[in-house]
Amino acid sequence: MKLWSDSWTNGDRIAAKYAAGRLDGEGQVGFSDNINPHLAWSELPAGTKSLALICHDFDVPSKADDVNRSDREIPSDLPRIDFFHWLLVDLPPTVTQIAEGQWSRGFTPRGKPGPAAAHGARQGLNDYTGWFAGDAERAGHYFGYDGPFPPFNDSLVHHYVFTLYALGVARLPLDGHFNGAQVRAALAGQVLDAATYSGTYTLNKRLVR
């Protein structure tokens, strides 16, 4: 099973247009184009009945105390947790690629609609749902793809991993509004094969090259 992209080389820096946050010409942080990247795949195993796609960042600070503080950096040795950026399930195996911008163009305050999606697929709630829960202007249900927006003062460059799963079931046992932990639990025992594609991103001006 193979997974690739025309949007960037595997493991390289992600361009700002695929991110939810960016630095402007004066080094200030703001919202970006939030375009979903191109992804394509081949060589699915025999018996594949559906596909699932997860994008997550495994470098998210486990404590938010120092997040986006201009007077300090988040230490690199702080324990890190997962942040889910995209949860797409029940995608038919006849679909062989996702076009750039097909699922997301621009950042939508209060979130894009879901869970129903194209091709009979479903999209889960990404973790911006929790991040903006206390924000009066942006609180809502964030379905589908919303790209990188790491803390501008993080001492770590963040890694974003897209994982495509070939599954032996046509529909995962998920109801209503589901999140990343629920998708991972539902995948147990259903995965025939998987492939990954990754990139990096930072908003820390000291680390941008």
Strand partners, 195: 164
What's the pLDDT score for residue 26?
A: 81
pLDDT confidence band for 208 (50 / 70 / 90): confident
Neighbours of 139 (CB within 10 A): 16
Compute the average pLDDT of residues 29-56. 98
With 90 as the cut, is the pLDDT of residue 27 above it?
A: no
The continuous run of DSSP H or E covering 194 comes out as strand 191-201
CA-CA distances (angstroms) from residue 21 to 4, 13, 17, 43, 175?
Answer: 24, 14, 9, 34, 31
Overall pTM > 0.95: yes
CA-CA distances (angstroms) from residue 84 to 24, 55, 162?
Answer: 25, 6, 10
Q: Is the sign of the CA dihedral 14, 97, 6, 117 positive or negative?
A: negative
Q: What is the CATH number of domain 2-201?
A: 3.90.280.10
pLDDT confidence band for 25 (50 / 70 / 90): confident
With 80 as the cut, is the pLDDT of residue 209 above it?
A: no
What percent of the chain lies above the pLDDT cut of 70?
A: 100
* pLDDT tens track for 115-166: 999 999 999 999 999 999 999 999 999 999 999 999 999 999 999 999 999 9
Q: What does the buried/exposed string (b/e) look like for 3-21 if buried means 16 or more CB atoms within 10 Å of the residue's CB?
A: bebebbeeeeebbbbbbbb
Compute the average pLDDT of residues 72-81. 96
Compute the average pLDDT of residues 47-75. 96
Residue for token pair 């209503």: 176
Q: Where are the domains of the chain?
A: 2-201
